[in-house]
């Protein structure tokens, strides 16, 4: 380990000598640089950090991080990461995955690492396409997406990664954009500090097979009206000069986008973000233009005991005299086969 004269690590200390083999212009570069820059700010140690990935473009990530790492098999990164965290609870374990890897073949594993609340950070790169296998539609591709596997357009409805995480009892769900280099470190810090499974969906551009898929929310001329940056305890305001906001429709628990100053609407009518409110989080997670802005930031955060906590508690109270023999023969689980 190198570091500075004071022992403080820098982004360079988390950079390997491996050639970064993503397509020029890929959003993964921005995410990689942000993670390498943020980890020293978190005060983590390289020898205490593990990155685990599955298959896909995002899965190259461990090669480019000067930490421990596992490039595992398609969709199974959560299973490997769970084993690592249980075997050594002191390790900081990060899962790096893509929308295809996590939500298609790996969907079952993602659900269970979330519901079990394993203490890992999950970075889900979402470019709404299969990039590594040359541009087939993915579980997050929008209806009508034309690709080599859907030449006439996809007829399927896309999965919302954030909504799926909430439905799987995820305790920390956030969303950011690859180009948001000032905001992303804040989200990464929150995910790291959260005890339990943290899922961060990162909207990421694939400039080869799905270029500008998020331009309808990221282009400068529409960003203010299409992005809602969440802050706990702050009004859900967006638009130029915070002129727009969200309120609950009277008599219903449905959100409505309104303009302050129209129809008697004032800032007092605007809903306050409560990141511990799962019902509100469920509504924010699925908002889409043009009716609503896309919610960015921490959508939901409500800590609960982790899977590792439960496992270790059982170990502490386990009967020291317990044996496999007693387990097999106890509780009427055996029988005798007569000749």
In a domain, 326, yes or no: no
Looking at the structure of the chain, the number of domains it has is 2
Are residue 167 and residue 267 in the same domain, yes or no? Answer: no
Q: Are 251 and 304 in the same domain?
A: no
Q: Return d(Cα 211, Cα 253) in angstroms, integer.
A: 36
pLDDT tens sequence across 264-286:
999 999 999 999 999 999 999 99
User: Residue 174: which CATH number?
Assistant: 3.40.50.970
Q: What is the pLDDT of residue 321?
A: 59
For the chain, state the CA radius of gyration: 22
Residues 175 and 302 in one domain: yes
- Show the tokens assigned to 299: 């959508």
- Asked whether residue 316 is assigned to any structural domain, the reply reads no
Examine residue 317 and state whether it is found in any structural domain, yes or no. Answer: no
Confidence of residue 301 (pLDDT cuts 50, 70, 90): very high
In a domain, 331, yes or no: no
Q: Which two tokens stand for residue 251?
A: 């008599």
Strand 198-203 and strand 121-126: the pairing is parallel
Query: 63 and 167 share a domain?
Result: yes
> What's residue 323's pLDDT?
73
Q: Mark whether 169 and 265 lie in a shared domain.
A: no
pLDDT in tens, 150-191: 999 999 999 999 999 999 999 999 999 999 999 999 999 999
Mean pLDDT of 66-88: 97
pTM score, two decimals? Answer: 0.93
Are both 296 and 206 inside the same structural domain?
A: yes
Q: Report the C-alpha gap between 175 and 201 in whole angstroms.
A: 5
Whole-angstrom Cα distance, residue 232 to residue 166?
17
Asked if residue 170 belongs to a domain, the reply is yes
DSSP β-bridge partners for residue 295: 228
> What's the pLDDT score for residue 294?
98
User: Do 253 and 145 belong together in one domain?
Assistant: no
- Give tens-digit pLDDT for 125-150: 999 999 999 999 999 999 999 999 99
Range of the domain at 239: 235-272
Looking at residue 317, its pLDDT comes to 78
Instruction: Report whether 74 contacts 55 (CB < 8 A).
Output: yes
Residue 336, domain member (yes or no):
no
Indicate whether 120 and 216 sit together in one domain: yes
- Residues 245, 176: one domain? no
Asked if 11 and 37 count as a contact pair (C-beta separation under 8 A), the reply is yes
Q: Report the chain's terminal Cα–Cα distance, integer Å.
A: 68
Lowest-confidence pick of 68-82, 180-194, 325-339? 325-339
Instruction: Tell me if 300 is assigned to some domain.
Output: yes
State which of 244, 272, 300 marks the end of a domain. 272
In the predicted model, what is the mean pLDDT of the chain? 94
Q: Are 117 and 30 found together in one domain?
A: yes
Q: Are residues 112 and 241 in the same domain?
A: no
Strand partners, 248: 255
Q: Is 4 a domain residue?
A: no
pLDDT given at position 1: 35
Together in a domain, 172 and 299: yes
């Amino acid at each position: 380990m190198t570091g500075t004269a004071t022992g403080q690590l820098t982004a360079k200390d988390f950079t390997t000598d491996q050639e970064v083999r993503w397509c020029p212009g890929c959003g993964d570069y921005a995410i990689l640089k942000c993670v390498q820059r943020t980890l020293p700010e978190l005060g983590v140690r390289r020898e205490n950090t593990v990155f685990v990935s599955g298959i896909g473009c995002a899965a190259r990530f461990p090669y480019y991080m000067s930490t421990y790492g596992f490039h595992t098999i398609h969709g199974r990164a959560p299973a490997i990461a769970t084993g690592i965290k249980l075997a050594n609870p002191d390790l900081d374990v990060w899962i790096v995955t893509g929308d295809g890897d996590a939500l298609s073949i790996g969907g079952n594993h993602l659900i269970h690492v979330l519901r079990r609340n394993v203490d890992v950070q999950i970075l889900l790169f979402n470019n709404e396409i299969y990039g590594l296998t040359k541009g087939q539609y993915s579980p997050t591709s929008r209806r009508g997406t034309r690709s080599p596997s859907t030449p006439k357009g996809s007829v399927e409805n896309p999965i919302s990664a954030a909504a799926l995480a909430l439905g799987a009892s995820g305790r920390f769900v956030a969303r950011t954009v690859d180009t948001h280099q000032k905001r992303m470190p804040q989200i990464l810090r929150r995910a790291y500090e959260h005890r339990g499974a943290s899922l961060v969906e990162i909207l990421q551009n694939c400039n080869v097979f799905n270029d500008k898929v998020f331009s309808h929310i990221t282009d400068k001329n529409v960003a203010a009206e299409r992005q809602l940056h969440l802050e706990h305890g702050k009004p859900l305001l967006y638009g130029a000069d915070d002129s727009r906001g969200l309120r609950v429709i009277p008599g219903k628990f449905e959100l409505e986008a309104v303009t302050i100053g129209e129809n008697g609407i004032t800032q007092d009518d605007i809903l306050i973000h409560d990141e511990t409110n799962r019902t509100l989080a469920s509504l924010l997670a699925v908002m889409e233009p043009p009716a609503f802005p896309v919610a960015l930031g921490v959508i939901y955060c409500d800590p609960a005991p982790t899977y590792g906590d439960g496992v270790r508690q059982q170990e502490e109270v386990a009967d020291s005299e317990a044996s496999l023999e007693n387990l097999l023969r106890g509780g009427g689980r055996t029988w005798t086969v007569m000749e």
